């Protein structure tokens, strides 16, 4: 595993306002398939346009809701990994030092919350909440698989997963908070994301425009690797604990 540059530890120690943006790669070591990894990613087997759009849901609500509920049940069996735990520790350490830390995730699995990260900005919603398309009521679904697909609301309306599909806008408040944090940070961590999906992938540009330092940790090169001040090839479950340990000794 490549040695980590001491300057990364120094940058993390001296930063006043840190932002971490996570993608599916952070949950990969917990056993959750990513989207675009060639062989193992979900999109290798499915076509996102076929499943992750409101048109797809309109065409075949049964198939789409079954796919999302299957993912929810798979996630229920997964545990946070070292990368999630390191980010929860980082939130505590920076909080104690009166530094700002903002965790923004594209992930819909809530493993950051399971790792005890307290303030998580979910840009793409979550598998755990389903919303009635008729009355808008949202319910958190913690049980086993649904009996019928698509599930129905007490008002008789059909329920959909409260995730952001392609072509749908991101939740305004979440995106506003994320943009403000990226614009004001002095250190931006891009972790386990292919940096392809917008507008989330544009946050690093906001940070760079405001002269933040950027550290990327990703298993493969991405469109932002060349612009990051440090781009570390590696697994977030292994690298993140080493960064937190290297910077703060814990
Ligand atoms: C919108 C929820 C418009 C659902 C998701 C510009 C050009 C072209 C297209 C667009 C554009 N701007 C907007 C678009 C359209 C589209 C888009 O960006 N398309 C992409 C494909 C080009 N964006 C949208 O549609 C967005 N909405 O723009 O609306 C609009 C505007 C106004 C008014 C109305 C409408 C909505 C985007 C959100 C879609 N929903 N998820 C679900 O989960 O099913 S996106 C989905 O991709 C997930 O949320 C995922 O998190 C996200 C990003 O993917 P990653 O997290 O990066 O995962 P990926 O597999 O790609 O990469 C994982 C990386 O980890 C890999 O690089 C891998 O090497 C690495 N890795 C693997 N293991 C490890 C690791 N790294 C470290 N350690 C490991 N162990
Ligand atoms: Zn309803």
Q: Which residues contact 196 (CB under 8 A, 6 or more apart)?
A: 36, 222, 223
> Rounded mean pLDDT of 181-195?
98
Task: Quote the ligand 2 centre to 152 CA distance (angstroms).
Answer: 8
Q: Quote the pLDDT of residue 47.
A: 78
Q: Which residues contact 178 (CB under 8 A, 6 or more apart)?
A: 21, 102, 104, 121, 123, 200, 203
Torsion angles phi and psi, residue 247, rounded to 5 = -80, -40
> Rounded mean pLDDT of 152-173?
98
Residues with CB under 6 A from ligand 1: 23-25, 28-29, 34-37, 41, 52, 106-108, 124, 163-169, 192-194, 196-199, 218-220, 222, 235-237
> Rounded mean pLDDT of 33-49?
74
> Rounded mean pLDDT of 35-47?
71
Q: Quote the pLDDT of residue 163.
A: 98
* Distance between CA atoms of residues 181 and 183, nearest Å: 5
Is 229 noted as a catalytic residue in this protein? no
pTM of the model: 0.96
Q: Quote the pLDDT of residue 39.
A: 62
**In this predicted model, what pLDDT tens digit does every residue of 99-117 receive, in sequence order?**
999 999 999 999 999 999 9
Residue 207: band (very low, low, confident or very high) from pLDDT cuts 50, 70, 90? very high
Q: Quote the pLDDT of residue 46.
A: 77
Mean confidence (pLDDT) of the chain: 95
The residues with which 152 forms a beta bridge, in sequence order, are 158
Statement: residue 40 has pLDDT above 70 = no
Compute the half-sphere exposure of residue 248: CA atoms within 13 Å on the CB side of its CA.
18
Residue 1: band (very low, low, confident or very high) from pLDDT cuts 50, 70, 90? low
* Distance between CA atoms of residues 219 and 194, nearest Å: 9
> Rounded mean pLDDT of 162-181?
98
Statement: residue 38 has pLDDT above 70 = no
């Amino acid at each position: 595993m490549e040695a980590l540059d001491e300057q990364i530890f120094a940058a993390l120690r001296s930063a006043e306002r840190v932002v971490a943006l996570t993608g599916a790669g952070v949950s990969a070591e917990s056993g959750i398939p990513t989207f675009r990894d060639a062989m193992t990613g979900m999109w290798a087997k499915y076509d996102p346009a076929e499943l992750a759009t409101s048109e797809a849901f309109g065409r075949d609500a049964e198939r789409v809701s079954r796919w999302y509920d299957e993912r929810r049940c798979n996630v229920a069996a997964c545990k946070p990994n070292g990368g999630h735990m390191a980010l929860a520790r980082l939130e505590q350490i920076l909080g104690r030092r009166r530094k700002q830390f903002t965790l923004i995730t594209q992930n819909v699995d809530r493993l950051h919350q399971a790792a005890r990260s307290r303030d998580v900005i979910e840009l793409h919603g979550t598998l755990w909440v389903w919303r009635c398309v008729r009355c808008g009521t949202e319910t958190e679904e913690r049980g086993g698989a649904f009996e019928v697909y698509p599930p129905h609301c007490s008002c008789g309306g059909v329920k959909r997963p409260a995730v952001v599909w392609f072509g749908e806008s991101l939740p305004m408040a979440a995106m506003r908070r994320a943009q403000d944090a990226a614009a004001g940070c002095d250190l931006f961590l891009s972790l386990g994301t292919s940096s392809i999906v917008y507008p989330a992938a544009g946050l690093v540009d906001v940070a760079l425009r405001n002269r933040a330092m950027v550290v990327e940790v990703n298993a493969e090169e991405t469109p932002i690797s060349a612009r990051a001040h440090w781009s570390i090839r590696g697994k977030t479950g292994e690298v993140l604990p080493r960064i937190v340990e290297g910077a703060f000794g814990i």
